[in-house]
Amino acid sequence: MPAEHEELEARIGYRFRDRDLLVRALTHKSVRSDVSSDPASVEDNEQLEFLGDSILGFVAGEYVFRRCPGSDEGKLSRLKAQRVSASHLFEVAVGLRLGEHLQLGRGEEQSGGRTKKAILANAVEALIAAIYLDGGLEPSCRFMETLILESGASEEFPGDVELDAKSALQELAQSRRLPLPRYQIVQQKGPEHAKLFTVEARVGTEFTARAEGQSKKAAGQMAAALVLEQLRDYAADAPVDNSAGED
Among the listed residues 44, 53, 156, 164, the single catalytic one is: 53
- C-alpha distances (whole Å) from 81 to each of 117, 118, 147, 153 are 17, 16, 16, 13
- Selected catalytic residue, list 49, 108, 125, 164: 125
Give catalytic status of residue 7 as yes or no: no
On whether the CB atoms of residues 203 and 178 are closer than 8 A, the answer is yes
Q: What is the reported pTM?
A: 0.63
Write the pLDDT tens digit of every residue in 178-192. 999 999 999 998 887
Q: Domains of the chain: which residue ranges?
A: 3-151, 165-237
Per-residue pLDDT tens for 18-50? Answer: 999 999 999 999 998 877 666 666 889 999 999
**CATH fold label, 3-151:** Ribonuclease iii, N-terminal Endonuclease Domain; Chain A (1.10.1520)
Sign of CA dihedral 145, 119, 190, 159: negative
So what CATH class is 165-237?
alpha beta
